[in-house]
Amino acid sequence: MAQRPPATPAESDLLRIDDQLSPDERLVRDTVRAYTAERVMPSIADWFEAGILPRELVPELGKLGLLGMHLTGYGCAGMGPVAYGVACRELEAADSGVRSMVSVQGSLAMYPIWRYGSDAQKEEWLPRMAAGEAVGCFGLTEPDHGSDPASMKTHAEPNGTGWVLSGSKMWITNGTIADIAVVWARTPDGIRGFLVPRGARGFTARAIHKKMSLRASVTAELHFDSVKLPADAMLPGVSGLKGPLSCLTEARFGIIWGVTGAGRSCLEAAIAYSRTREQFGQPIGGFQLTQSKLAWMAADLQRAQLLALHIGRLKEAGTLRPEQVSLAKMANVRTAIDLARQARTILGANGITLEYPVIRHANNLESVLTYEGTEEIHALAVGQALTGISAYR
Amino acid sequence: MNIVVCVKQVPDTWAERTLRPADSCLDRASVDGVINELDEYAIEEGLLQAEAHDGEVTILSMGPQKAAESIRKALSMGADKAVHLVDDGLAGSDALGTSLALSTVLARIGFDLVILGAEATDARMGVLPAMLAERLRVPQLSLARKVEIDGNTVTVHRLTEYGYDQVVASLPAVVSVVEKINEPRYPSFKGIMAAKKKPVETLSLADAGIDPAQVGLGAAATEVLSFAKRPPRQAGTIVKDEGDGGSKAAEFLAAQKFI
Ligand SMILES: Cc1cc2nc3c(=O)[nH]c(=O)nc-3n(C[C@H](O)[C@H](O)[C@H](O)COP(=O)(O)OP(=O)(O)OC[C@H]3O[C@@H](n4cnc5c(N)ncnc54)[C@H](O)[C@@H]3O)c2cc1C
């Protein structure tokens, strides 16, 4: 409690956009902010440097209700999209790695089970995943198939009453700590989702090292060497690429909000630094060039926040379309990267150390730019919506 | 067991706080309100005691409409229901008026145990627990860092300048707590959702049967005669160590009567 941050909206929120939040949404904001101030902020630089995210955070996130918070039943809190967005924002203001953990668990692993799973699959996994007792991961990307998942090689062949799964997946968040992997594979009747438990014979996960981005997050390679699965390992409710794509639309929604948290953290670090750092006999925040940078950063951040809120209200209304998500993911990630970069210049040499959050956010955002659909692929989706011409599929 | 936790909404302790020139009252409108920090410990203690003794926790808050947000947070943490005493006539109440109003409501709703923070971060008077106990004619156990309930008796442990106290009283009683007592929980998201359905009774002065002439700024027995901004921090004295640094530091401490 000692480290409780101000409940007052951030000083960078000149437009008081947070006043648009409902009391519940504000309570979610304050709770996540207080939690990260106490549990994440004191150690995040060390975790980032060591390249770890402590597993014991997961049950804590579960206890707060963050895991699958936008789902209903099975121990999930059943909150609205804006509350989910605000939670992602506050998590990512701490670190994109922590937000990724929560996004993958809730939107990429729990969501497909919740939406497409059988009652037995839901009963078995969702309550434990909501509580953070079981961790999930989402395997879509392959070593040779990233932006074009439709050409994936991983496949499952019918075998007696069950399946045999073969292939590999790459860049899988939570991969080595997951108790359950949601794996998308080609089958004789199209792409289907499979629940592969940790320890299944022939299933191995190996951590990917030497990352310079999203270091406080586990990224892994999954291998399936003729893994025998029972018939009920398959998600019965969906076939085709729309299964994984619908999950990604959920998770991208969290990114649209999340990156505004990372951007805010950078702007606030820059403001604070510019007030106290003196050169040429005065605080650098008193120089017009610095103020111009800060002013544009604030304007860009607030536009991104308005965009996130708008997308949130569209989702609430049930009218949110994938190209709207693409536009906002693309635009807000780019804004956050620009903010991080500009903030870095204001911090001078201190801008490259982990003593300040800026370079950590800047590096993390490079992953966020690429995962859940690269900037280019989202531009193609927006371009298609605008012109009616598909440039890529 | 019927536990009532008194909760005050105070201006965010991180924000700049100012008094209004017109009536010398704290300007509450311009800053966000939060639950008084010690009251969060009181809520946590109420919840822990209720969990241990099959009790029920009622939140009692006197404050403007805005205090409803703090009440909601307390309910999200797990309290069962709330009573919100809200009336324009209460604005500007001093400790006497506040204790009168709260004790009237407490007598009305009934209680086995009243828990509250030892002081509020805005006024920092720290007299409310004593005044409530006195008006309710029940024992007051102050500054608790640990509370034990056994049947009809309540024991509190407190740390004083001269050692440890253990104070025992019979219920019903008023207990004030300090931050050593526990670690307040965060409101869980399920708690936030559940709080929407929890009953909050809103009472006006008339509903509560409180005489408007005895509360509010007009009835205050204390008056703020003048106030001034805190002077800016003075630059510290720098003592250069020329081999006599130790004795110079000692001289300074002696001059400030620290040693
Ligand atoms: C830290 C991290 C975590 C991840 N977590 C997961 C996870 O949990 N689960 C999962 O399944 N995946 C995960 N990914 C993978 C991520 O989704 C992919 O990296 C992403 O989809 C891009 O695929 P790729 O890396 O193979 O790049 P490629 O698809 O090879 O793209 C390379 C470049 O070519 C561009 N390009 C490709 N096609 C076109 C086109 N038609 N027109 C124009 N440009 C094009 C791309 O935009 C990109 O700039 C993660 C990635 C990272 C970095």
How far from chain centre, in Å, is Cα B1? 22
Q: In B18-138, at which residue ranges do the beta strands (DSSP E only) sit?
A: 33-35, 56-62, 81-85, 113-117
Rounded CA-CA distance B143/B45 in Å is 13
Q: Which of A8-22, A101-115, A124-138, A221-235 has the lowest mean pLDDT?
A: A8-22
- Map out the domains of chain A with their CATH numbers: 17-130 (1.10.540.10), 136-233 (2.40.110.10), 242-387 (1.20.140.10)
Residue B159 lies in a domain: yes
| Ligand 1: residue whose CA is nearest its atom 25 | A146
A386 touches chain B (CB under 8 A): no
Containing structural domain, residue B97? 2-219
Residue B256 lies in a domain: no
Ligand 1: residues with CB < 6 A are A 104, 138-141, 146-147, 171-173, 214, 219, 367, 370-372, 374, 376-377, 380, 392
Q: What is the pTM of this model?
A: 0.91
- Global ipTM: 0.87
CATH of residue B123's domain is: 3.40.50.620
pLDDT in tens, B101-144: 999 999 999 999 999 999 888 878 889 999 999 999 999 999 99
Label residue A310 exposed, middle or buried (CB < 10 Å: 0-12, 13-18, 19+).
middle
The beta-carbon neighbor of B188 closest among A6, A34, A65 is A65
Rounded CA-CA distance A103/A193 in Å is 18
A73 touches chain B (CB under 8 A): no
Rounded CA-CA distance A280/A244 in Å is 56
Q: How many CA atoms lie within 13 A of A392 on its CB side?
A: 14
Give B1→chain A minimum CA distance, Å. 27
Q: Which of A296-300, B193-197, B249-253 has the lowest mean pLDDT?
A: B249-253
To the nearest whole percent, how much of chain A has pLDDT over 90? 96
DSSP 8-state code for residue B14: T
A376 CA → ligand 1 middle, Å: 10
pLDDT in tens, B192-225: 999 999 999 999 999 999 999 999 999 998 888 8
Query: pLDDT at position A10, please?
Result: 63
B211 near B150, Cβ under 8 Å?
no
Residue B187 lies in a domain: yes
Query: Which atom of ligand 1 sits closest to the CA of residue A108?
Result: 8
pLDDT value at A78 more than 50: yes
- Band of the pLDDT at B32, cuts 50, 70, 90? confident
What does pLDDT average to over chain B?
Answer: 92
- Supply the residues of A annotated as catalytic: 372
Residue A355's contacts (CB-CB under 8 Å, 6 or more residues apart) are A45
Rounded CA-CA distance A358/A375 in Å is 21
Residue B236 lies in a domain: no
Residue bearing tokens 């371009």: A383
Structure tokens of A324? Answer: 């709207």
To the nearest whole percent, how much of chain B has pLDDT over 90? 70
pLDDT value at A187 more than 50: yes
Residue B91 lies in a domain: yes
Q: Which of B72, B186, B200 to mutate to test the interface with A (most CBs of A within 10 A)?
A: B186
Say if the Cβ atoms of B186 and A1 lie within 8 Å. Answer: no
Rounded CA-CA distance A29/B11 in Å is 18
To the nearest whole percent, how much of chain A has pLDDT over 70? 97
Query: pLDDT at position A7, please?
Result: 44
Residue B242 lies in a domain: no
Residue A357's contacts (CB-CB under 8 Å, 6 or more residues apart) are A44, A265, A266, A269
Residue B246 lies in a domain: no
The beta-carbon neighbor of B186 closest among A6, A64, A83 is A64
Residue B253 lies in a domain: no
Count of the separate structural domains present in chain B:
1
